[in-house]
Amino acid sequence: MKFLGAVALSMGLSAPAIAAEAVNLDELLRQVETGRVKDAQEAQERLAEFRADRSSQQQKLANMRAEKTRQENLSAQLETTFEANDVEIFELEAALQERLGDLKELFGVLQQASGDAIGQFSNSITQVQYPDRTAWLTEFAAKMGQTTRMASLDEIERLWFEIQREMTETGKVVEFPTTVVTSTGEEVEKTVTRIGAFNLVADGKYLEYLPETGRVLELQRQPQARYTKRLGDFEGASSGYTPVAIDPTRGQLLGLLVQSPSLSERIAQGKEVGWVIIVLGIIGVAIAVWRWLVLTGIGSKVRAQIKNPQNPGNNPLGRVLKVYHDHKGDDVEALELRLGEAILRETPKFQSMLPMLKIISVVAPLLGLLGTVTGMIVTFQAITLYGAGDPKLMAGGISTALMTTVLGLVVAIPTVFLHTLVSGQARKLTQILQEESAGLLAEQAEAQRGA
């Protein structure tokens, strides 16, 4: 029965026809016959439907062919119109260029002048007072770049007016209110004084104009006091002439002055070696001053003792005189040895700490050389890692190299001078002792010969 069912499906029977299993061959034959008749009937119905729809499909095809022909005719007409318009445009452009004549060159000059004015006005501090002019100039320059647009007389006069106003404002000192960003980042409304097109000042400080943001900023660091001390008098003056420092480069020199390091920053560039040199310099100066005061006091006592040799005091010459008085009865040779011994005991006191001062005068430039070598090592390491294209990467090492050398020389030169000065004072005192000792020996020798 399963085999017969498969045969029935291959002959095209519908699903309901084969759903029920035939009881015998006659029943199966009857079902096959019924399915064949039904299929034939459905095929005839579908064929009749297709034949009825043929006329409508042919009508649609005819309509599409007619639309195609119409669109092709329209395309040909538009192409002909385009070619005619293209020729007319070419002729009109030629006529326009011919009629423009010298005006074309004039418009080119106007475009160039407006472009130059935009660049100049954008970077000028007068832009703070007249911020709307650059927008108009930009629009005007774009208009002049179009060959089909011409400048009106009012626009040409406006361009001339803006250029003339900039020239006029560069010779004026004007006060006006504006928003200033302080060094702490706070926005404050201030009365700003504009010095021509050179500088902006307020409250005794120089200001900076940033073209990128159109804002006025207070400089993070002001230049030296000799440049700013007159700003207060200048802002307070209502007439007459008041001296004031201006930047003729419109901010470049002022920026360099602000970036230049102060004395403390220069010293800090020497780093550890520089601080060691400075400490040695301070110690050297302290030693020199101390020894100079001590030797000056001793010198005063010695000079006073010279005037009173009979009463030896508590001073180097007094102690030498005491030796003389204590051994006045000895012969000249023995007395000379005792006086020489007394002088030798006093001399080291004169030379106290002077070797240290000499060592500092020698070590300071050597430390400066050490800092120079260290800074150059850092510089060469930066060159090895990053190349020599950016000098800022090498600036730290070069600053250390140069500043330590400078600090070493600054300490060594005055230290050598002070050492020479103090040593001269010590030698002078030693010479006084030797002279007085020689005089005493001469007196003793004469006394012994007379006896």
pLDDT digits (tens, 9 = 90+) for 65-100: 888 988 999 998 999 999 989 888 888 877 766 666
Contacts for 441 with CB less than 8 Å, ≥ 6 apart = 332, 335, 336, 339
Q: How far apart are CA 429 and CA 186, in angstroms?
A: 67
Question: According to the model, what pLDDT value does residue 148 have?
Answer: 57
Report the candidate in 190, 220, 196 with the shortest Cα–Cα distance to residue 208: 220
Q: How far apart are CA 412 and CA 358, in angstroms?
A: 9
Neighbours of 324 (CB within 10 A): 22
- Which residue type is seen at 383? I
Residues of the chain with pLDDT under 70: 1-23, 96-104, 145-149, 258, 260-262, 388-397, 450-451
Q: How far apart are CA 281 and CA 381, in angstroms?
A: 31
Secondary element (H or E) of residue 199: strand 199-202
Contacts for 14 with CB less than 8 Å, ≥ 6 apart = 35, 38, 39
Question: According to the model, what pLDDT value does residue 287 have?
Answer: 93
**The pTM of the whole model exceeds 0.85:** no
- Phi, psi (5° rounding) for residue 179? -90, 130
Question: According to the model, what pLDDT value does residue 350 have?
Answer: 86
What is the per-residue pLDDT across 199-217, written as a single tens digit (0 to 9) for each?
888 888 888 888 888 888 8
